[in-house]
Structure 1
Amino acid sequence: MIGRLRGIILEKQPPQVLIEVNGVGYEVHMPMTCFYELPDLNQEAVIFTQFVVREDAQLLFGFNNKQERALFRELIKTNGVGPKLALAILSGMSAQQFVSAVEREEIATLIKLPGVGKKTAERLVVEMKDRFKGMSGDLFNPATLDVPLSSSAPTAAPEDDPESEAASALVALGYKPQEASRMVSKIARPGADCETLIREALRAAL
């Protein structure tokens, strides 16, 4: 299993990054909350990964730390939650925010995420709340639950059409095309890059 990659970032196409390790390029799908924190192109990055094998594909999912990866692993164990939905959940809110929502049983917040209906949200609260008790690390410490999503400036390469790129990324995260376009159009403004538009569209959705 591939558990960690250290290499140079060649491409950033939200929510996917191409990282070169010893001459081999790995395509890694990352939650947008992790994607925002990646360094610039041609810079070195360390990504903790989860290898997922499906009937039609073999996929790598990446995270900035082991705790985020651990949360992803627990999410995909939940009935009705696959890797794509887990990626969307951790893109719509940070890992700390998700832990907080589960601990506080905020069903209304969870159902705003793409692909999460009321039954799935209730299942997440019931199953994940018990699992958090057996998990360790700062991510699962109640003292860190109110840590806000980082507002640091994203480091994306210039895009020819940031709005289209942002809408495409939202579709990849599970939103319907018309919904994604509407989300982006509501917060679009001159000079905003792709990552900024995605960040603000996801925040507005919650």
Structure 2
Amino acid sequence: MIGRLQGQLLEKKAPEVLVDVNGVGYEVLVPMTTLYQLPEIGGKVTLSIHFAVSENSQALYGFYDKKDRELFRTLIKVSGVGPKMALAILSGMETDQLVSCVMEDNVSALVKVPGVGKKTAERLIIELRDKLKTWQVAHSPLAEMEAASQPQAGGQGSNDIVAEAESALVALGYKPVEASKMVANVLRAHSVTRSEELIRLSLRSLSPA
């Protein structure tokens, strides 16, 4: 079983990255919260891996933080929640935000994630509440990154950036029309020069405050 990958980042196209490990390229699905923390193409990367095997496929899911992998594994044990939905949940909110939603019975925040209806959100809260009691909600390193990397004025998103952002949102489960609307709303309020930033802001607009 693969539990960790360390190598060179060759490609980064949300929600998938390609990592070269001694000449072997591994395709890894990552949540957006991990994607934001990865180096530029060509940089060295280390990911904690969850190896998922089903009747029809095999897939690697990668996480920058072991804590995120632990929560991912906890999520997929919930009835009705598969790896794709768990990835979407962890893309739409940080680990500590999700824990807060569960502990505060915040159904309205959870149903904003594509594929999560009211019944699934309620099931998540019921089944996760006891398991997450020991988690400590702390200031996330990602929040510090966001504060230090606000979009600069004067930039303008290219068609390629918009297309890549919309494609990533669709891959996470949002309908094309929803993805286009989310991206358009962000571009009306921000000047964005990178697709990762556009994806982050789009997802953040749906996340709990």
Q: Shift of residue 56 of structure 1?
A: 2.1
Extract structure 1 runs of 4+ deviating beyond 4 A.
none
Instruction: Output aligned runs, 1:157-176, within 5 Å.
Output: 161-176=160-175
Distance between the aligned counterparts of 1:178 and 1:120, measured in 2?
23
Question: What per-residue deviation string (whole Å, max 9, x for no partner) do you get for residues 32-66 of structure 1?
Answer: 01110001111111100000012221100000121
Question: What per-residue deviation string (whole Å, max 9, x for no partner) do you get for residues 55-104 of structure 1?
Answer: 22110000012111010000000001000000000000001110111111
* Partner amino acid, structure 2, of 1:178: V
Q: What is residue 26 of structure 1 aligned with on the other side?
A: 26
Mark the CA change 1:88 to 1:38 in structure 2 (over 3 Å): closer, same or farther.
Answer: same
The question of whether the paired residues in 2 share the 8 Å contact of 1:48 and 1:65 is answered with yes
**Coordinate RMSD, CA, aligned:** 1.9
Q: What is residue 43 of structure 1 aligned with on the other side?
A: 43
Distance between the aligned counterparts of 2:26 and 2:161, measured in 1?
24
Q: Could you list the runs of 5+ residues in structure 1 that have no partner in the other structure? A: none
Distance between the aligned counterparts of 2:196 and 2:160, measured in 1?
12
Q: What is residue 121 of structure 1 aligned with on the other side?
A: 121
- The secondary structure found in structure 1 opposite 2:129 is helix
Instruction: Output aligned runs, 1:41-80, within 5 Å.
Output: 41-80=41-80
Q: What is residue 5 of structure 1 aligned with on the other side?
A: 5
The question of whether the paired residues in 2 share the 8 Å contact of 1:159 and 1:194 is answered with no
Instruction: Output aligned runs, 1:71-110, within 5 Å.
Output: 71-110=71-110
* Partner amino acid, structure 1, of 2:178: E
How many residues are aligned here?
A: 196
Distance between the aligned counterparts of 1:54 and 1:178, measured in 2?
31
The question of whether the paired residues in 1 share the 8 Å contact of 2:71 and 2:95 is answered with yes
Distance between the aligned counterparts of 1:44 and 1:113, measured in 2?
31
- The secondary structure found in structure 2 opposite 1:11 is strand
Mark the CA change 1:117 to 1:95 in structure 2 (over 3 Å): closer, same or farther.
Answer: same
Distance between the aligned counterparts of 1:62 and 1:28, measured in 2?
6
Q: Normalization by structure 1: what TM-score?
A: 0.89
The question of whether the paired residues in 1 share the 8 Å contact of 2:158 and 2:193 is answered with no
Distance between the aligned counterparts of 2:110 and 2:39, measured in 1?
29
Q: What is residue 179 of structure 2 aligned with on the other side?
A: 180
Q: What is residue 205 of structure 2 aligned with on the other side?
A: 204
Mark the CA change 1:56 to 1:159 in structure 2 (over 3 Å): closer, same or farther.
Answer: farther
The question of whether the paired residues in 2 share the 8 Å contact of 1:47 and 1:65 is answered with yes
Mark the CA change 1:159 to 1:34 in structure 2 (over 3 Å): closer, same or farther.
Answer: farther
Q: Shift of residue 186 of structure 1?
A: 1.2
Q: Shift of residue 159 of structure 1?
A: 7.6
Q: Normalization by structure 2: what TM-score?
A: 0.88
Question: What per-residue deviation string (whole Å, max 9, x for no partner) do you get for residues 132-167 of structure 1?
Answer: 23x6xxxx214x1x647440549xxx9860001000
Q: Could you list the runs of 5+ residues in structure 2 that have no partner in the other structure? A: 151-156
